[in-house]
Copies of this chain bind each other. A is one copy, B any other.
Amino acid sequence: MKRTNRRRVLQLSAGLGSGLLGKADEGRPPGRPLSGYGERSKYVKPARTMRQTKTPQAGSSATPLADMYGIITPSSLHYERHHAGVPDIDPDEHRLLIDGLVERPLMLTMEDIRRLPSVSRIHFLECGGNSGGEWQEKTGPDAQRSYGLASCSEWTGVPLRLVLKEAGVKPEAKWMIAEGADACRMQRSVPLVKDLDEALLAYGQNGEPLRPEQGFPLRLLTPGWEGNVQVKWLRRLFVTAEPHYTRDETAKYSDLMPDGKTRIFTLTQEAKSVVTFPSGGRRLAGAGWYEITGLAWTGRGRITRVEVTLDGGREWREARLDQPVLHKAFTRFRLPWKWDGKAAVIASRATDESGYVQPTREELIAVRGRNSGYHFNGIKVWRIQADGSVTNGDA
């Protein structure tokens, strides 16, 4: 992304003014007519990068974070993580079954669900495996391929508690097994805890029905928890007394600790942040003014502070946060920076309203070891070379 600084802007206007004004003064024929459903400009190219895999139905694709503005991720660029591909579901045929330890089992159509009182909220969604490469030295070369399994949308749905109340959850019930209608019948055990008061049976995303990759026509949304438990193409909630220890919460999405024990059901995504400009693969045009920007988020509520270091962690400056800062949503941070043209090591550090401060990679590894591929939220370091190129700090 070639950029010039403010001083050069003035030189530009002096140097190129007349010529460019001439060009800008050329006339133009009438443009395209109205359209029913618009598309982006042919000059705009960002796309989700797909992780190479023998089974493209069971892979992931990442949001181009360094090309994104603000906090809303366009639905077409929301990250994907599928275990058996994207099913083609006719919403008129889809049903949600709520059974198990309930007084009144329910079988709901999409019309039944959409008719119930709903709410819309902006929340981030992050795969439990996002930035997992950071545990080893196998991280991606840029923000997209290292941190792109996180996105943020406005979700619309029916509060889960309202439907569970209709079904009448029995006192001995402590969990529910959420099951997807995809080919692998994704199943996750969901604890019936306080956090679930925010959960939605979500049917809307960024103003439209859910996109197919995000669970059309219905998904479980549990704000702040890892993506995999927010089961897509949701077809059943089986209320139980115990978890089922399904494949995706035992073989996957659990953390093997240094002592050989495994942490399981570590659902909450802790405070995390990443600088998206400058970030891996970009190149600064030369010394001068730039705006450092990036994203921060936490599963524990609001981000209260983001600090940025420009000298490898010796000094930290507080970044400006775009307002309002939303609950369990992406938060956009910004900091003006005059680059002196010398090599620099930059990083961001997020703090949330629980008081939690994002740890360094080393601090995280000291406690959790390096056996896990999940739940990495250490500070992300970018290294800027004197030629303006940007690479991983660990590289």
**Contact residues of A with B, CB < 8 Å?**
1-6, 8-10, 12-13, 16-17, 20-21, 23-24, 27-44, 46-48, 50, 55-61, 68-78, 80, 82, 84-91, 93, 95, 97, 104-109, 111-112, 114-121, 154-156, 166, 181-183, 203-204, 206-209, 211-213, 216-217, 235-236, 289-291, 293, 322, 324, 326, 332, 334, 336
Contact = CB atoms under 8 A, between A and B. Distances in A.
Given A24-B97, A31-B57, 9 more contacts: A9-B106, A13-B108, A24-B236, A34-B50, A38-B77, A69-B154, A71-B120, A74-B207, A77-B207
Given A60-B34, A107-B20, A332-B120, A73 B207 contact: yes
A156 B289 CA distance: 19
A87 B31 contact: yes
Contacts of A85: 30-33
23 contacts: A1-B114, A3-B115, A4-B109, A13-B105, A13-B106, A24-B235, A28-B182, A30-B183, A31-B82, A31-B88, A32-B85, A32-B86, A37-B77, A38-B78, A38-B80, A40-B208, A41-B88, A68-B207, A70-B207, A71-B120, A74-B75, A74-B206, A121-B322
Nearest to A216: B41
A59 B198 CA distance: 43
B73 A112 contact: no
Nearest to A236: B24
Contacts of A154: 69-72
Given A1-B111, A3-B111, A78-B38, A84 B30 contact: yes
A107 B93 CA distance: 57
B20 A36 contact: no
Contacts of A31: 57, 82, 84-88, 182-183
Contacts of A156: 69-70
Contacts of A89: 41
A157 to B, nearest CB: 9
A42 B37 CA distance: 13
Contacts of A104: 10, 13
A61 to B, nearest CB: 4
A308 to B, nearest CB: 14
A112 B291 contact: no
A211 B39 CA distance: 7
A160 B111 CA distance: 46
- The CB with the most chain B CB atoms within 10 A, among A95, A108, A115, is that of A115
Nearest to A50: B34
Given A115-B291, A332-B120, A107 B21 contact: yes
A44 B324 CA distance: 32
A206 B97 CA distance: 35
A36 B47 contact: yes
A183 to B, nearest CB: 5
- The CB with the most chain B CB atoms within 10 A, among A12, A37, A204, A209, is that of A37
Contacts of A117: 291, 334, 336
Nearest to A115: B3
A120 B183 contact: no
A28 B74 contact: no
A58 B34 CA distance: 8
A61 B40 contact: no
B76 A37 contact: yes
Contacts of A90: 43
A324 B324 contact: yes
- The CB with the most chain B CB atoms within 10 A, among A30, A87, A112, is that of A30
